[in-house]
Amino acid sequence: MTHLWVRAEQRPNEERVGLTPEGAKALIAAGIRVTVEESSVRAIPLQGYIDAGCDIAPENSWPQAPEDAIIFGLKELPEDGTPLPHRHIMFGHAFKGQHSGKALLERFKAGGGTLYDLEYLVDETGRRVAAFGYWAGYAGAAVTLKAWAAQQRGEICGPVGVYGGRDALLAELGGELDALNMGRPTAIVIGALGRVGTGAADLCEAMGVQVTKWDMAETAGGGPFPQILDHDLFLNCIFARPGTPVFVSREALAAERRLTAIGDVACDPDSDYNPVPVYDRATTWDAPVLRVAETPVLDVMAIDNLPSMLPVESSEDYAAQLLPSLQALTDLESGVWGRAKATFLEHLPE
C-alpha cells in the first residue's frame, strides 16, 4: 500500500501544510495510507486529520518512518548531513546551483533516497501542477510596501509575522500607508501574467498603488531595464532559469533612480540565474530587507517563505492544486512523478 507521511515543518515561522484534512480523506478513500505528524505550529489543527482517518505520529519522527513511506513536507530539512534513504516530496532548492542544494543532493546520494521536488512537478507541457505563487506575490508585495513606508519615516523595515488572514494584513498595511499622509508609490511587476505576479499586482491595487505590468513580451530584448528605475517599487515575480536576463544590475546602485525598494519574490540570490544581482542572501522575518545602497536608499526584500505570512489561505489553495497529483502517488514511475524523478536523477552528483 502506498504510504504518505506528512511531516511537521521544522523551519521557524513555517505554519503551512501541503495536505488538508479533506485532501487526506480523499487519499485514504483512494487506498493510500496517510500518516500525519503532530505539530506545534501547523495552521490547520490536527483534529481534522484524526477525523479524516489518518494515522498520527510524533512530531519530527519521520527519520524513523518505514523505509517505504513517502515523506511529504514543504520547506527544507535540518542541515545535519545525515543520509536520506526515504523518498521525499518537498521544495529542495537543489537544481539551480544553490550551495545548500548541492549538499542536500549528496545526502540523497549517500542514503539512496529520491527527491521529488515540488518546484519541478510539471504536466506534460512543462507547466507546474501546483504553486504557492499567488500568495507569495501577495505577501511579498505587502512586505515591500512596508519597506517603502518605513523609508518614508526615515527607518528600515522592522520584523514581520503571521497574519490571521488576508483582511487582517490589508487592514494593518492600509493603516500604515494612510498614516504617512502622502500619495501612494508606483510599482512595476515583472512576471505579471503568472500566479506570483498576479498576487503581487492584486495586493498593490488593493492598496491603491499604480502598477506597471510586464511579462515575457516586455523583457524579450534582454536587460537590464532602465524603466524599472523610474518606479518606486520593483517586484520580481519570475521563475529564474538559463537565459533569464538581468533586470537590475549592480550599476543601478549608483545610477540616478526613483527606485528605493525591490521585492525579489522569486528569491534566488545564490542561483547562477539570479536576475537581480544587487544582493547576495535571502532576508528573514526578523530582518525583512537588506539595504544595498544609501544615496538614495535601496532596500531588497527577499524572504523565501512568504506564503507563510498567510498560512491558512496559502495551504488551502496549494493543497487543492496538488491533490490530483497526490492521488496518483500509486504510480511513481510515470506522469508528474516520473518526470520529477528524472529531473532528480539528472542533477544527482556522480
Q: How confident is the model at residue 19 (pLDDT cuts 50, 70, 90)?
A: very high
Residue 300 three-state SS: strand
Q: Could you report the per-residue pLDDT of 250-259, keeping only the tens digit for each?
A: 999 999 999 9
CA distances from 68 to 71, 120, 236 (A): 9, 22, 40
Sheet containing 114-117: order of strands: 55-57, 33-37, 3-6, 70-72, 87-90, 114-117
Q: Is the pLDDT of residue 157 over 90?
A: yes
Average pLDDT rounded to a whole number, residues 219-225:
91
Q: Could you report the per-residue pLDDT of 305-314, keeping only the tens digit for each?
A: 899 999 999 9
End-to-end CA distance of the chain: 32
CA distance 184 to 148: 10
CA distances from 326 to 27, 64, 70, 319, 332 (A): 8, 22, 11, 10, 10
Answer yes or no: are the C-beta atoms of 62 and 38 closer than 8 Å. no
Percent of all residues in the chain with a pLDDT value above 70, rounded to a whole number: 99
- Active site annotation includes 75: yes
C-alpha cell at 336: 508528474
pLDDT of residue 167: 95
Q: How confident is the model at residue 239 (pLDDT cuts 50, 70, 90)?
A: confident
CA distance 324 to 304: 26
Answer yes or no: are the C-beta atoms of 26 and 327 closer than 8 Å. yes
Q: Which of 88, 93, 96, 231 is an active site residue?
A: 93
Residue whose C-alpha is closest to residue 90's, from 65, 112, 63, 119: 119
Answer yes or no: are the C-beta atoms of 206 and 161 closer than 8 Å. no
Average pLDDT rounded to a whole number, residues 32-48:
97
Q: Is the pLDDT of residue 268 over 90?
A: no
- Compute the mean pLDDT over every residue in the chain, rounded to the nearest whole number: 95
Q: Could you report the per-residue pLDDT of 98-146, keeping only the tens digit for each?
A: 777 888 999 999 999 999 999 999 999 999 999 999 999 999 999 999 9
Helix spans in the chain (H) = 21-29, 46-52, 99-111, 133-152, 166-178, 195-206, 216-219, 311-326, 335-347
- Active site annotation includes 3: no
Answer yes or no: are the C-beta atoms of 225 and 201 closer than 8 Å. no
Q: Which residue has the cell 542561483?
A: 271
Q: Could you report the per-residue pLDDT of 194-206, keeping only the tens digit for each?
A: 999 999 999 999 9
Length of the chain, in residues: 350
Return the minimum-mean-pLDDT range out of 51-65, 89-103, 215-229, 312-326. Answer: 89-103
CA distance 322 to 128: 10
Q: How confident is the model at residue 52 (pLDDT cuts 50, 70, 90)?
A: very high
pLDDT of residue 83: 97
Residue type for position 207: M
C-alpha cell at 152: 518614508
CA distance 55 to 47: 11
339: region left, alpha or beta (phi > 0 left; psi from -120 to 50 alpha): alpha
Give the single-character DSSP code of 180: T
Residue whose C-alpha is closest to residue 306's, from 265, 261, 262: 265
